Structure 1
Amino acid sequence: MEFRQLRYFCAVADEGNLTRAAEWLGLRSPSLSQQIRSLERELGAPLFERSAAGMALTAAGEALLPEARAALAAAERGARAVASAVVDVRPLTVGVPPGVPPDLPERLRTAARDLGAEVVFEDVATDGQLPGCAPAGWTSASSRCRWTAPAWTSGPFGTSRSAC
């Protein structure tokens, strides 16, 4: 069983249609069908009931789906862990003005951690944010910030450049 086959299986399960799943995956339908049949042979059970209306999961397919999703998610987390281990990751400090929903920093911190990044939040009044930007590479002009990314921000996710 290969991760590629699990990804294909999940796509067909999500779409409920081999042709739409093949389009989404950038494959031809016969090739995708062959991969699904190969997976079914390897597992010794049909994963889909095929009909003119589409493809529905069998009991075996229902049992495989959460495990396939978990395996694919684990592989993605592993790839991100390796990427963050070989890249010099530095925390991004974000000034949080009054009035931001109290759960927002923790939700963003969790999302960043899932991506292998680190975000630090500091309580800062709005007028105190711009002066704190200058040491980190931010400059302000006419109440606009522009980030000049240092060389270390180049990595597997591209180069960071943004304006606010």
Structure 2
Amino acid sequence: MTQLAEMIGKDRGTLSEWVNKGCPVVKQGSTGARTLFDPRDVFAWREQFARSDEARKFARRAEEAGENPMTVAELNKLEDIKLKRQKLAMTAKILIHRDPLGMAIRQANGLGRQTIMSIPEELVRKVGGAVSREKALEIKDVAWDLCAAGLESWATEVNEAMRIAVERLISFDDVRRE
């Protein structure tokens, strides 16, 4: 908890409040034991929490809204508030800007994972009647294990590369401040 608090510039009390409000934890620690967090899950939860809080604050009561949509001035005010929140969140390092390239990479990774994990089923279809049903299922299980191991290895490499990239980014921020 202490490491995450330092990373995002919040105190442990704030993190405890977040956990009480539903912030995801990898492992809940008891008194004196460490609580483990996945920062990506925490950032995603904070973004969702901010969105729902914003929606709650700007929700109109049915009798107020009637059939009228928000006016242009109201929409502009809402966008200004969103931008101010994003700037504040980025300054406090609780929101990470997602550029289009990063989002494209995330989508491509997801599609690649789906393609790789469809290989065992495709393999069973290809061998069809050439082998017995039991042998086809055995081949599928082996292929599944190989695909899963390959994806796990790939994920480890990507995580390490991202860790290094974040360290370099933090170092670059330190240099820019000097």
Range of TM-score over shorter length? under 0.3
Q: What TM-score results when the alignment is normalised by the length of structure 1?
A: 0.25
Greater fraction of residues in helix: 2
Q: Which has the higher strand share?
A: 1
